[in-house]
Amino acid sequence: MKTVYLTLLSVGLLTSSLHAGKAIEAQLVSSTVSVPLEEGIQKWQLGLSDNEGTTLTFMIRLAQVVSIDKGSLNLNGWTIAEQHRSRFTDELASFKINHKFYQGDISQLSLDGSIVVNVGSKLQNKTITLKKDDKPIKLPDFKVSIEEDAHMGLGIRFDGTVSMLKSIKVENDGKEIDSNGSSSSSDYRTYYYPALNEKSKIAITYFSDIKKQTIKITK
Protein backbone atom coordinates (compact mmCIF):
# COMPACT_ATOMS: atom_id res chain seq x y z
CA MET A 1 0.00 0.00 0.00
CA LYS A 2 1.33 3.42 -0.96
CA THR A 3 1.65 6.16 1.63
CA VAL A 4 1.78 9.92 1.24
CA TYR A 5 2.81 13.01 3.19
CA LEU A 6 0.18 15.71 3.54
CA THR A 7 0.68 19.30 4.72
CA LEU A 8 -2.29 21.48 5.65
CA LEU A 9 -1.90 25.16 6.58
CA SER A 10 -4.50 27.28 8.31
CA VAL A 11 -3.53 30.85 9.13
CA GLY A 12 -5.55 33.00 11.49
CA LEU A 13 -5.34 36.36 13.19
CA LEU A 14 -3.26 36.55 16.37
CA THR A 15 -6.14 37.35 18.65
CA SER A 16 -6.84 36.73 22.29
CA SER A 17 -9.40 38.05 24.69
CA LEU A 18 -7.69 40.06 27.40
CA HIS A 19 -10.85 41.49 28.93
CA ALA A 20 -11.58 40.71 32.56
CA GLY A 21 -13.88 37.76 33.06
CA LYS A 22 -13.20 36.26 29.63
CA ALA A 23 -11.02 33.22 29.00
CA ILE A 24 -7.84 33.60 27.00
CA GLU A 25 -7.60 31.21 24.06
CA ALA A 26 -4.65 30.05 22.00
CA GLN A 27 -4.99 30.70 18.25
CA LEU A 28 -4.41 27.80 15.86
CA VAL A 29 -2.13 29.07 13.08
CA SER A 30 -0.92 25.95 11.30
CA SER A 31 -1.50 22.20 11.07
CA THR A 32 0.54 19.36 9.60
CA VAL A 33 -0.36 15.72 9.02
CA SER A 34 2.53 13.31 8.46
CA VAL A 35 1.97 9.64 7.62
CA PRO A 36 4.69 6.99 7.16
CA LEU A 37 6.60 7.13 3.89
CA GLU A 38 7.39 4.18 1.67
CA GLU A 39 10.26 1.99 2.84
CA GLY A 40 13.61 3.40 1.79
CA ILE A 41 12.43 7.01 1.64
CA GLN A 42 13.58 9.33 4.42
CA LYS A 43 11.87 12.58 5.43
CA TRP A 44 15.08 14.56 5.08
CA GLN A 45 15.22 13.56 1.42
CA LEU A 46 11.98 15.48 0.88
CA GLY A 47 12.86 18.38 3.16
CA LEU A 48 10.36 17.24 5.80
CA SER A 49 10.89 17.44 9.53
CA ASP A 50 7.56 17.24 11.37
CA ASN A 51 6.76 14.42 13.77
CA GLU A 52 4.67 11.50 12.58
CA GLY A 53 0.96 12.06 13.10
CA THR A 54 -0.74 15.43 13.48
CA THR A 55 1.13 18.53 14.66
CA LEU A 56 -0.75 21.73 15.49
CA THR A 57 0.90 25.10 16.08
CA PHE A 58 -0.81 27.65 18.32
CA MET A 59 -0.02 31.29 18.98
CA ILE A 60 -0.59 33.09 22.27
CA ARG A 61 -0.83 36.86 22.49
CA LEU A 62 -0.50 37.90 26.11
CA ALA A 63 1.34 40.77 27.75
CA GLN A 64 4.51 39.86 29.69
CA VAL A 65 4.56 36.19 28.70
CA VAL A 66 7.77 34.58 29.96
CA SER A 67 7.44 30.92 29.03
CA ILE A 68 5.06 28.01 28.53
CA ASP A 69 4.83 25.34 31.21
CA LYS A 70 5.57 22.19 29.17
CA GLY A 71 4.20 19.88 31.87
CA SER A 72 0.84 21.65 32.05
CA LEU A 73 -0.74 20.47 28.79
CA ASN A 74 -4.21 19.14 29.53
CA LEU A 75 -5.32 17.48 26.30
CA ASN A 76 -5.77 13.73 26.13
CA GLY A 77 -3.57 11.99 23.54
CA TRP A 78 -1.47 15.08 22.75
CA THR A 79 2.07 15.98 23.78
CA ILE A 80 4.10 19.20 23.59
CA ALA A 81 6.41 19.03 20.59
CA GLU A 82 7.96 22.50 20.81
CA GLN A 83 7.56 25.89 22.48
CA HIS A 84 8.89 29.32 21.66
CA ARG A 85 8.71 32.80 23.18
CA SER A 86 9.51 35.65 20.81
CA ARG A 87 12.79 37.42 21.63
CA PHE A 88 11.51 40.57 19.94
CA THR A 89 8.46 41.10 22.14
CA ASP A 90 7.12 39.71 25.43
CA GLU A 91 3.56 39.62 24.03
CA LEU A 92 3.90 36.65 21.66
CA ALA A 93 4.59 32.96 22.22
CA SER A 94 3.89 29.77 20.30
CA PHE A 95 3.76 26.06 20.95
CA LYS A 96 3.31 22.87 18.94
CA ILE A 97 1.35 19.84 20.06
CA ASN A 98 1.52 16.41 18.46
CA HIS A 99 -0.80 13.39 18.29
CA LYS A 100 1.23 10.53 16.83
CA PHE A 101 -1.73 8.30 16.07
CA TYR A 102 -4.09 10.80 14.46
CA GLN A 103 -3.52 10.96 10.71
CA GLY A 104 -6.99 11.91 9.58
CA ASP A 105 -8.89 14.98 8.44
CA ILE A 106 -7.86 18.11 10.38
CA SER A 107 -11.31 19.61 9.89
CA GLN A 108 -12.80 16.73 11.88
CA LEU A 109 -10.63 17.34 14.93
CA SER A 110 -12.34 18.52 18.09
CA LEU A 111 -10.18 19.91 20.90
CA ASP A 112 -11.09 21.06 24.39
CA GLY A 113 -8.10 21.43 26.67
CA SER A 114 -5.70 23.91 28.23
CA ILE A 115 -2.09 24.83 28.87
CA VAL A 116 -0.46 27.09 31.47
CA VAL A 117 1.68 30.10 30.61
CA ASN A 118 4.16 31.76 32.98
CA VAL A 119 3.54 35.51 33.04
CA GLY A 120 6.09 37.99 34.38
CA SER A 121 5.14 40.18 37.33
CA LYS A 122 6.69 42.55 39.88
CA LEU A 123 8.87 44.67 37.61
CA GLN A 124 12.22 45.74 38.99
CA ASN A 125 14.63 48.38 37.65
CA LYS A 126 18.39 48.48 38.05
CA THR A 127 20.93 50.87 36.50
CA ILE A 128 24.53 49.73 36.25
CA THR A 129 27.86 50.54 34.60
CA LEU A 130 30.21 47.83 33.37
CA LYS A 131 33.68 47.58 31.89
CA LYS A 132 34.88 44.78 29.62
CA ASP A 133 36.94 43.02 32.29
CA ASP A 134 34.52 43.49 35.18
CA LYS A 135 33.05 40.45 36.91
CA PRO A 136 29.42 39.73 35.90
CA ILE A 137 26.73 41.49 37.90
CA LYS A 138 24.28 38.96 39.33
CA LEU A 139 20.55 39.59 39.32
CA PRO A 140 17.93 37.08 40.57
CA ASP A 141 17.47 35.15 37.31
CA PHE A 142 20.48 36.08 35.17
CA LYS A 143 23.88 37.71 35.24
CA VAL A 144 25.08 40.67 33.16
CA SER A 145 28.52 41.13 31.62
CA ILE A 146 30.30 42.86 28.74
CA GLU A 147 31.47 40.86 25.74
CA GLU A 148 33.24 41.87 22.55
CA ASP A 149 32.56 40.55 19.07
CA ALA A 150 35.05 41.02 16.24
CA HIS A 151 32.33 42.29 13.90
CA MET A 152 29.66 43.76 16.17
CA GLY A 153 31.86 45.40 18.80
CA LEU A 154 30.97 45.66 22.47
CA GLY A 155 27.78 44.09 23.74
CA ILE A 156 25.83 43.61 26.95
CA ARG A 157 25.38 39.91 27.62
CA PHE A 158 22.69 38.29 29.78
CA ASP A 159 23.17 34.66 30.89
CA GLY A 160 20.48 32.64 32.64
CA THR A 161 16.69 32.78 32.42
CA VAL A 162 16.78 35.59 29.88
CA SER A 163 13.00 35.49 29.32
CA MET A 164 12.72 37.31 32.66
CA LEU A 165 14.33 40.37 31.03
CA LYS A 166 11.73 42.98 30.13
CA SER A 167 13.83 45.71 28.51
CA ILE A 168 17.23 47.39 28.36
CA LYS A 169 18.12 51.04 27.75
CA VAL A 170 21.64 52.40 27.39
CA GLU A 171 22.59 56.08 27.73
CA ASN A 172 25.74 58.11 27.18
CA ASP A 173 25.68 61.52 28.89
CA GLY A 174 21.91 61.34 29.32
CA LYS A 175 21.21 60.46 25.65
CA GLU A 176 19.94 57.02 24.66
CA ILE A 177 22.20 55.17 22.22
CA ASP A 178 21.09 52.65 19.59
CA SER A 179 21.88 48.97 19.35
CA ASN A 180 23.30 47.62 16.11
CA GLY A 181 22.10 44.06 16.60
CA SER A 182 21.77 41.12 18.94
CA SER A 183 22.39 37.40 19.28
CA SER A 184 20.67 34.85 21.48
CA SER A 185 19.86 31.28 22.42
CA SER A 186 17.58 29.76 25.05
CA ASP A 187 19.89 30.74 27.93
CA TYR A 188 21.75 33.85 26.81
CA ARG A 189 21.13 37.09 24.97
CA THR A 190 23.57 39.82 23.86
CA TYR A 191 22.73 43.35 22.69
CA TYR A 192 25.48 45.18 20.80
CA TYR A 193 26.07 48.93 21.01
CA PRO A 194 28.77 50.64 18.89
CA ALA A 195 28.95 53.58 21.30
CA LEU A 196 29.07 51.49 24.49
CA ASN A 197 31.83 52.51 26.90
CA GLU A 198 32.75 52.12 30.56
CA LYS A 199 30.73 55.20 31.52
CA SER A 200 27.54 54.13 29.72
CA LYS A 201 24.53 53.83 32.01
CA ILE A 202 22.71 50.53 31.47
CA ALA A 203 19.10 50.57 32.69
CA ILE A 204 17.67 47.06 33.05
CA THR A 205 14.00 46.27 33.66
CA TYR A 206 13.18 42.70 34.61
CA PHE A 207 10.49 40.54 36.18
CA SER A 208 11.18 39.35 39.71
CA ASP A 209 8.24 36.95 39.92
CA ILE A 210 5.86 34.98 37.71
CA LYS A 211 2.15 34.23 37.79
CA LYS A 212 0.32 31.34 36.17
CA GLN A 213 -2.23 31.96 33.43
CA THR A 214 -4.37 29.16 32.02
CA ILE A 215 -4.86 29.29 28.25
CA LYS A 216 -7.72 27.42 26.56
CA ILE A 217 -7.04 25.15 23.58
CA THR A 218 -10.15 24.59 21.52
CA LYS A 219 -11.09 23.65 17.99
Answer for the pair 61, 90: CB distance below 8 angstroms, yes or no. no
pLDDT of residue 18: 37
Name which of 1-10, 125-134, 177-186, 209-218 the model is least confident about: 1-10
Q: Mean pLDDT, the chain, as a whole number?
A: 85
Q: Over 50: is that where the pLDDT of 15 sits?
A: no
Q: What is the tens place of the pLDDT at every residue in 179-199?
A: 999 998 878 999 999 999 999
Domain ranges in the chain are 5-121+210-218, 122-209
Q: What is the pTM of this model?
A: 0.74
Q: Over 70: is that where the pLDDT of 9 sits?
A: no
Q: Over 80: is that where the pLDDT of 103 sits?
A: yes
* 42, 101, 104, 128 from 146: Cα distances, Å: 45, 49, 52, 12
pLDDT of residue 176: 97
Answer for the pair 190, 196: CB distance below 8 angstroms, yes or no. no
